[in-house]
Amino acid sequence: MNPYEKIKELTKSRNISVRELEKRLGFSNGYFSKWKSVSPNSEGLQKVADYFNVSTDYLLGRVDTPGLDAGKVESDDLDVMLDRMMSFDGEPMDDHDREVIRAYLKGRFAKK
């Protein structure tokens, strides 16, 4: 199912039209219909995910469960999570970025 079909399914479940969603999110008429054949941009995808409280992975068809925890890594092993992460350009992270993120996460979630 492509992102547009997911949006149609979600709007139907909320008893609103796709056009109404476009208005509510500040998009032009027909904005989402382009997603039938073109990959959505990250801003639009995130706005829809936030509106419906679903994950972007769900909208992209990567997971079948709409919940925000659907794409959660099952392992709490930091190295496994870092191995699965990519940089903003879609490339694997370099060692420096991995260490910066590791330090941040350890500090952020350290038991107090």
89 and 44, same structural domain? no
Predicted pLDDT at 4: 92
Work out how many domains the chain is built from and give that number.
2
> Are residue 43 and residue 91 in the same domain, yes or no?
no
Domain residue limits at 28:
3-59
Which CATH number characterizes residue 45's domain? 1.10.260
**Cα–Cα distance, 12 to 93 (Å, whole number):** 39
51 within some domain: yes
pLDDT value of residue 31: 93
Query: Do the domain assignments include residue 101?
Result: yes
* pLDDT tens for each residue of the chain, 112 residues long: 889 999 999 999 889 999 999 999 999 999 999 998 888 888 999 999 999 888 888 898 888 777 655 444 444 567 767 766 766 676 777 888 888 888 887 777 665 4
Residue 66 domain-assigned? no
What pTM was estimated for this model as a whole?
0.59
Length of the chain, please? Answer: 112
